[in-house]
Amino acid sequence: MQIVAALIEALRLRGVRRVYGVPGDYVLGLFAALQASPIDLICTAGEEGAGFAADAHGRLQGLGVAVVTYGVGALKLLNPVAGAYAERSPLLVISGAPGLRESEEHPLLHHRIRADQTQLRLFREVTVASAVLDSGRTAAEELVRVLEGMRRESRPGYLELPADCLNREIAWPIDLTPPAPAPLAIPEGLRREGERWLAWMRGRQRPLVLGGVELARFRLQPLLRQILEREGWELATSLSGKSLLSESHPQVLGIYEGAMGQPHLRQRVESSDGLLVLGQPLNDLDTGVFTMAVDAAHVLQVDLDGGLRTADARNENLDPLTLLRIWAEAPAPEPAPLPIAAHGPAPAAAFEPAPDQPVGVERLMAAIEAVLPADATVLADPGDSLFAAADLHLREDSHFLASSFWASLGFALPAAVGAWGACQEHTPVVLLGDGALLMCSNELATLARYAIPALVIVLDNGGYGTERPILDGPFNDLQPVAHRELALAMGFSAAERVENEEELWSCLGRWRSDGMTGPTLISVAIPAGEMSAALKRLSTALAQKLASSSPPLALNKVVSELEA
């Protein structure tokens, strides 16, 4: 078997049916081999787009793959791959590279940086495992090592394939199948300690679980659900963990985001006397910029990197998987908890458009919620799109994807390509700002090329709206762009600009009735100064927090108006 065949076979054995990339001379051989294989190739407009698409695919399917050329292509992936590292997404980069022989003969080759290993070293910083597949003797082993490292950590990996090594023979039988995960052996002492923490949770008056992104990445939802239902505990999720369990589940309260989130939910979480923060490292964005106010004596924190921590105890072996296993195997509580009455977010109310009324951010979300299919994948870009989408009530079988901690603009639109590639029965619904669109508008062409039935909603507030309340200036303005004409030029068959609620509503209605055969764009004019309730809450809380610091980020008039 040749190295290239082993690579494709190893991917296929891990369920990869589709990869994303942009060709270049050092990787054309691999593109041709992929084309001839059972794996589909989606050619994006740019490498950053391929990276975000593969990231989304990996979040939904367990392994996403971006295939690019050396240097000029691969380095454009550093941002998506760093984001995948930060948000634990299993994104594999396969980069072509100059052939070994040509490198030796002519060091001055195009796309090369400093030394042979410069690119490899850059990617080592943002991946958990990396290898150069340059020898038939080691390639199979290296390939499996990188893929296993990625699976174990749910983080990116990097493979470099010199152009003249593709066809090197692996001369002996190899086993490329994913090794079966070793059964989780839980030592008795650890089990007893895990059970002690279960008893601690059971002894609380108001126990509550704040679930996060690691539970989704390691597919722990079934275990979590089983335990929540048995114990009768309620679940809030972080923004990164949105759609962890169905938002219609009676025990699911909604999204907790500190001062940024809904006040009643904040109150509920922060007043819990047994708050289990599970699988969610407490970063700034998931805590409403560290506005989380809890009594440390009431908090039990369990995540992958730190294990279990409380104010005065620590056990790094009690990670989320181990703890949930121990709890799942423990006897049910006696007496069984009373069934919890449904109190999840209310189902979407019907939307009544007001004539000639400009579209506010909250009303836009209400209109979208009213037409959202039950099986949507909602993708929101950082900016007010993400803040507003936090409260969007997703129906039973929906997914939510966002660059919510790395927070890279330009994620959601190309990620929709990968979300569709991973899960074609789900309709991608993209929410992004006018600034974000300018960063990734080339990928509109990819949506059109593959007739991906995505709904793309642009929140056009004439600039970097999220930044204005922090510190405004002409640098937050943007060149006005005719989004409708842009989308049509890129090959969309449906694109509209809407100025008021009635126009919005009729466009959404048209999309529901005949938008499922290709992409649709709706650019929504958001009136100046309009923003989501979440962004208003955050701005106010930050203004209060920063009021005493000198000289603070000069919170400008938008905040003072909000406070007035």
Ligand X SMILES: Cc1ncc(C[n+]2csc(CCOP(=O)(O)OP(=O)(O)O)c2C)c(N)n1
Nearer to ligand X, 247 or 530 (CB): 530
The least distance separating ligand X from the CB of residue 465, rounded to whole angstroms, comes to 3
> Among 50, 54, 78, 407, which residue sits at the site for ligand X (rule: CB under 6 A)?
407
- Pairing, β 129-132 against β 40-43: unpaired
* Of residues 361 and 422, the one with the C-beta less far from ligand X: 361
Number of residues that bind ligand X (CB under 6 A): 18
On the 0-12 / 13-18 / 19+ scale of CB atoms within 10 A, 510 is: middle
Does 436 contact ligand X by CB under 6 A? yes
**Residue 273: how many other CB atoms lie within 10 Å:** 14
Q: Compare residues 149 and 383 and give the one whose CB is closer to ligand X.
A: 383
CB of 405 to ligand X, least distance (A): 11
Is 459 a residue that touches ligand X (CB under 6 A)?
yes
Report the residue number, 162 or 382, with the smaller CB distance to ligand X: 382
Q: Which of 383, 414, 428, 519 binds ligand X (CB under 6 A)?
A: 383
Given a contact cutoff of 8 angstroms between Cβ atoms, the answer to whether 394 and 429 are in contact is no
Of 151-159, 284-292, 338-346, 465-473, the segment contacting ligand X by CB under 6 A is: 465-473
Binding map of ligand X across residues 81-120, x = CB under 6 A, - = no contact = ----------------------------------------
Lookup: tokens for 186: 């839980």
Task: Please report the DSSP string for 145-166 in residue order.
Answer: HHHHHHHHHT--EEEEEETTTT
Taking CB under 6 A as the binding criterion, the range among 160-168, 243-251, 365-373, 379-387 that sits at the site for ligand X is: 379-387
Identity of the residue, 414 or 435, whose beta carbon is nearer to Mg ion in the bound complex:
435
Asked if 502 is part of the footprint of ligand X (rule: CB under 6 A), the reply reads no
Minimum CB separation of residue 461 from ligand X in Å reads 5
Asked if residues 422 and 62 have their Cβ atoms less than 8 Å apart, the reply is: no
Q: Residue 446 Cβ, how far from ligand X at the closest point, in Å?
A: 19
Q: Are 318 and 278 in contact (CB under 8 A)?
A: no
Applying CB under 6 A, does 461 fall inside the site for ligand X?
yes
- Let me know if 282 is exposed, middle or buried by CB neighbors in 10 A (0-12, 13-18, 19+): middle
Contacts of 434 (CB under 8 A, 6+ apart): 458, 459, 460, 461, 462, 463, 478, 481, 483, 523
CB of 387 to ligand X, least distance (A): 8
User: Per the structure block, which two tokens stand in for 171?
Assistant: 């001369």
Helix (H) or strand (E) holding 314: strand 314-315
Selection from Mg ion, ligand X, none that 466 binds (CB < 5 to 8 A by kind) is ligand X
Q: Should residue 434 be labelled a site residue for ligand X when binding is judged by CB under 6 A?
A: yes
Distance CA 446, CA 269 (A): 42
Min dist CB 130 to ligand X, Å, is: 24
433 in contact with ligand X (CB under 6 A): yes
Number of CB atoms found within 10 A of residue 122's CB:
16
| Nearest approach, Cβ of residue 514 and ligand X (Å) | 29
For the chain, what percentages of helix, strand and coil (3-state, to nearest 5) are there? Answer: 40, 15, 45
Residue 409 partner contact from ligand X, Mg ion, none using kind-dependent CB cut-offs of 5 to 8 Å: ligand X
Which residues 263-322 are close enough to bind ligand X by CB under 6 A? Answer: none
Q: Which position among 464, 492, 505, 511 is part of the footprint of ligand X (CB under 6 A)?
A: 464
Does position 466 interact with ligand X (CB under 6 A)? The reply is yes
Structure tokens at 482: 């005719």
**88 Cβ partners below 8 Å, 6+ apart?**
153, 154, 155, 213, 214, 217
Going by C-alpha positions, the residue among 317, 276, 279 that lies closest to residue 299 is 276
Residues that bind ligand X (CB under 6 A): 382-385, 407-410, 433-436, 459, 461, 464-467
